[in-house]
Amino acid sequence: MRNAVFLDRDGVLNRADVRDGRPYPPASLDELEILPGVKRACEALRASGFFLVVVTNQPDIARGKQSTQAVDDINEYLKRELQLDAVRVCAHDDADRCNCRKPAPGLLLDSARDFDIDMRHSFLVGDRWRDIEAGRQAGVRTILIDYQYSEKRVEPDQIVQNLAQAADWILTQTVAEVSS
């Protein structure tokens, strides 16, 4: 089995547009901006043997505000630029009551099954309560990149300011496990 780091997309890998205390995804590839330190963090995690899986809610597809093609273009670009192993998308809205829309753990659990991932030694990095709750339900350790959004909070295992800090914490945890 392999260890993985599950990564939310908007606010973790790329800049989210924050309006009224809530994050919104880029509308197109032209608006995409990879956050500082993200490429180095992904390289460090990959070099340590982690399988990198993006798990992202994209409800604007179901709401008719975003095309599947635009989301696919952004995801393919990120996958190529950051050498990500997989990207899993939930294109549903809350009303759809699917098992893949975070805070449900479906994207993570399906990835664990499909890619033979050991959830006990895996992590999730997100910037919203939905990410953290999905990670908790899936049985992985959770790291919140805290932007102080105006929304519900769920306590993660660790709070950081960016993906580089999250990667450092993950690598510290991994070293501690190997030494004990």
Nearest-CA neighbor of 159 among 173, 142, 177? 142
Say whether 8 is catalytic.
yes
Say whether 157 is catalytic.
no
Any idea which architecture 4-179 has in CATH? 3-Layer(aba) Sandwich (3.40)
Strand order in the sheet with 86-90: 86-90, 51-57, 4-7, 123-126, 141-145, 158-160
User: In which residue ranges of the chain is pLDDT below 50?
Assistant: none
Per-residue pLDDT reduced to its tens digit, 157-180:
999 999 999 999 999 998 667 655
CB atoms within 10 A of CB 137: 15
Of these residues, 10, 94, 146, 168, which one is catalytic?
Answer: 10
Q: What is residue 180's predicted lDDT score, i.e. its pLDDT?
A: 57
Q: What is residue 105's predicted lDDT score, i.e. its pLDDT?
A: 98
